[in-house]
């Protein structure tokens, strides 16, 4: 490839969004339309919170992006590459570019913190080395740096099953970042955590997005947490995006569109409480 062709290729990559979802549809075998013509773009590093009622399509949307759930139709472009059209080998390579953090942590309980973090590099080392957990020195250094960054310095030899929920989630974040991903996906990362730990985890994610310039999409039930820590909020209702804006514009009217009037607006005061 000539120098001019390389420059043109880099220029084209710089112009296209990091993530572009086009007309995404997911229909389950039951006939349930979980996603209906969803369109979505991320063109800069930011924390995007996905909110909505249970069954609105939030988890399906997150999991379609890396094809843990197979879309029925539509396109999902990661730096211009359509993930939906990839074969198994291509999908394995694409998933290395997307870090996934789960509600249930998905750690190997009997392994140490360091082994769990290093598992984020399993897709980059050979089969024999991965079985032996043998990694290059630069990966070991990066793992120690990440453990320090997420507040787990000195925990590298602890077994995962000896950690608290917040500590496990920090291990999951460090493991995802070991992939050196272009995009982070978090599926209800605070659902099993207490309020204080939830705020700490959300604050940490926001700091890492800013530091590493890696966008994060977070499926979250806690509206207050989303408003406090997200740069952008997407509201789903019945498989459709009905809100896409900054947290400051998430008014009660917008929340009623997302959750439904009967689910959001408080009951009218009929004065019963003040009658003697």
- CB-CB contact of 221 with 188 (8 Å): yes
The per-residue pLDDT string of the chain (276 residues; one tens digit each, 9 = 90 and over) reads 555 554 455 444 556 889 999 999 999 999 999 999 999 999 999 999 999 998 899 999 999 999 999 999 999 999 999 999 999 999 988 998 999 998 877 888 899 999 999 988 887 876 566 666 778 899 999 999 999 999 999 999 999 999 999 999 999 999 999 999 999 999 999 988 999 999 999 999 999 999 999 999 999 999 999 999 999 999 999 999 999 999 999 999 999 999 987 666 655 554 444 333
Q: Any idea what the Cα angle at residue 34 is, between residues 28 and 38, rounded to 5°?
A: 125
Axis crossing angle, helix 165-178 with helix 137-149, rounded to the nearest 10: 140
Q: Any idea what the Cα angle at residue 82 is, between residues 78 and 83, rounded to 5°?
A: 80
Q: How far apart are CA 239 and CA 220, in angstroms?
A: 16
Q: How far apart are CA 173 and CA 152, in angstroms?
A: 11
pLDDT at 106: 83
- CB-CB contact of 203 with 79 (8 Å): no
> What is this structure's pTM?
0.86
pLDDT at 267: 56
Percent of the chain surpassing pLDDT 70: 87
- CB-CB contact of 25 with 33 (8 Å): yes
Please write the tens of the pLDDT for every residue from 127-168: 566 666 778 899 999 999 999 999 999 999 999 999 999 999
């Amino acid at each position: 490839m000539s120098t001019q062709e390389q420059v043109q290729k880099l220029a084209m990559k710089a112009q296209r969004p990091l993530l572009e979802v086009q007309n995404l549809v997911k229909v389950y075998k039951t006939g349930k339309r979980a996603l209906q013509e969803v369109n979505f773009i991320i063109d800069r590093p930011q924390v995007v919170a996905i909110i909505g009622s249970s069954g609105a399509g939030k988890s399906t949307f997150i999991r379609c992006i890396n094809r843990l759930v197979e879309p029925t139709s539509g396109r999902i472009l990661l730096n211009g590459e359509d993930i939906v059209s990839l074969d198994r080998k291509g999908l394995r390579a694409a998933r290395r570019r997307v870090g996934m953090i789960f509600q249930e942590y998905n750690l190997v309980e009997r392994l140490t913190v360091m082994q769990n973090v290093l598992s984020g590099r399993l897709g980059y080392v050979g089969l024999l080395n991965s079985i032996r957990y043998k990694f290059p020195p630069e990966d070991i250094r990066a793992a120690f740096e990440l453990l320090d960054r997420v507040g787990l310095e000195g925990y590298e030899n602890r077994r995962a099953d000896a950690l608290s929920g917040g500590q496990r989630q920090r291990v999951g974040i460090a493991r995802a970042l070991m992939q050196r991903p272009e995009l982070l996906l978090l599926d209800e990362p605070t659902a099993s955590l207490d309020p204080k730990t939830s705020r700490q985890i959300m604050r940490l994610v926001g700091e890492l997005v800013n530091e590493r310039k890696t966008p994060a999409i977070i499926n979250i039930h806690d509206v207050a947490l989303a408003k406090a820590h997200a740069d952008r909020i997407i509201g789903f209702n019945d498989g459709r995006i009905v809100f896409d804006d900054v947290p400051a514009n998430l008014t009660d009217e917008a929340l009623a569109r997302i959750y439904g009037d009967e689910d959001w607006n408080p009951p009218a005061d009929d004065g019963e409480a003040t009658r003697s």
